[in-house]
Structure 1
Amino acid sequence: MNIAYLLIGGNEGDRSAYLQETTRRIQYPGSRLLQASSIYETAAWGKTDQAAFLNQALALETPLDAPALMKRLLATEEELGRVRTERYGSRTIDIDILFFNEDVIQLPWLTIPHPEVARRRFALTPLDEIAPGYIHPVLHKTIHRLLAECPDLLEVKKL
């Protein structure tokens, strides 16, 4: 079995309902939710002229490999109304694989660890709640240390 650390988030519609429905839907056959962080609210990152996001980190145990899981997650995003029109734009739901075991994966359409995780307080804060001691397989620092060193000053508010 594999352990995937995911970040789910969105800023359109009933944000809490989308997080709940995403959490329910990603428990694919043979997969099991191990942990879920609290829900956090943050201003938009990257493109700031939009509504605030709700974000949550999840630990998912799954028999799927990383590419197969990512394909399923993308399909789940589409099922929940995700439309990709602009980078960092508004969305009903976004599901990112932040880490997958201790794997380092570089494919044209999938990079693990997530290349922006160490620079995003909105990702590190909920992840620190469920996996503070997890060691980034490239940077060789714990999530807790990455959060302490994070240059992102965006406020992350626990709900």
Structure 2
Amino acid sequence: MALGGNLAGDFASCEALLEAALARFPRAGLGVVARSSWWRSAAWPDPSAPEYRNGIALVEADQGPAAVLQALLAIETDLGRTRSAKNAPRTLDLDLIAYGRQVIDTPGLVLPHPRAHERRFVMGPLAELLPGWRHPVLGRTAVELAAEAPVGRDAEPVR
């Protein structure tokens, strides 16, 4: 799972909001096995918007990918996510990046996530957590994809 956002909403910080989202995973049937550190990056495509925080969580689920996606959307809503224009600033964005090695292309669910490999703010945290993870379609590792990702080149761990 990828977690991100650049508006804290009712929380003290974006990191606090992301931590609150992670804390809700178990109640949604998503057991957090491991997680990356939080990463920072300039907003994209509008760098004048607030800076983003992103991270990755490796989870175990006893439900299929469509149900996992619905659980993520419910957590977003519960924590104040409202959808406006595409790529607009947001409180919380939870994305299902991959589900094992499954390749799915249906209305409403595409796996692996169709743009994750282009985003350093996703591939960087994934490479930190699982450097040898291989993209199910491209066959490239998380480390290779993070090094080549064209979007979010400034992404780095929060220190």
Q: Please report the TM-score for the alignment, with normalisation by the length of structure 2.
A: 0.91
Contact 2:31/2:59 (CA < 8 Å) preserved in 1? yes
- Cα drift, residue 32 of structure 1: 1.4
Q: Which amino acid aligns with 2:3?
A: I
Contact 2:44/2:152 (CA < 8 Å) preserved in 1? no
SS at match of 2:27: coil
Q: What residue number does 1:135 align with? A: 134
SS at match of 1:100: coil
* Alpha-carbon distance change, 132 to 140 in structure 1, aligned in 2, over 3 angstroms: same
Q: Which is strand-richer, 1 or 2?
A: 1
* Alpha-carbon distance change, 153 to 24 in structure 1, aligned in 2, over 3 angstroms: closer
Q: What residue number does 1:112 align with? A: 111
Contact 2:18/2:92 (CA < 8 Å) preserved in 1? yes
Q: What residue number does 1:34 align with? A: 33
Q: What residue number does 2:156 align with? A: 157
Equivalenced residue count is 154
Identity across the alignment (%) = 33
Contact 1:31/1:61 (CA < 8 Å) preserved in 2? yes
1: CA distance, partners of 2:79 / 2:129: 25
Is the deviation greater in 38-47 or in 116-125?
A: 38-47
* Alpha-carbon distance change, 118 to 29 in structure 1, aligned in 2, over 3 angstroms: closer
2: CA distance, partners of 1:115 / 1:108: 13
Q: Which amino acid aligns with 2:24?
A: R
Q: What residue number does 2:81 align with? A: 82
Q: Of the two structures, which has the highest relative contact order with CA contacts closer than 8 Å and spacing of 6 or more?
A: 1
Unaligned runs of 5+ residues in structure 2 are none
1: CA distance, partners of 2:128 / 2:112: 18
Q: What residue number does 1:7 align with? A: 2
1: CA distance, partners of 2:87 / 2:97: 17
Q: Please report the TM-score for the alignment, with normalisation by the length of structure 1.
A: 0.91
Unaligned runs of 5+ residues in structure 1 are 1-5
2: CA distance, partners of 1:33 / 1:113: 19
- String of CA shifts for 1:40-74, please: whole Å, max 9, x gaps: 11111233331001111100011011000001110
- Cα drift, residue 137 of structure 1: 0.7
Q: Which amino acid aligns with 1:10?
A: G
Q: Which amino acid aligns with 1:125?
A: G
- Cα drift, residue 127 of structure 1: 0.5
Q: What residue number does 2:57 align with? A: 58
- Cα drift, residue 149 of structure 1: 2.3
Q: What residue number does 1:21 align with? A: 20
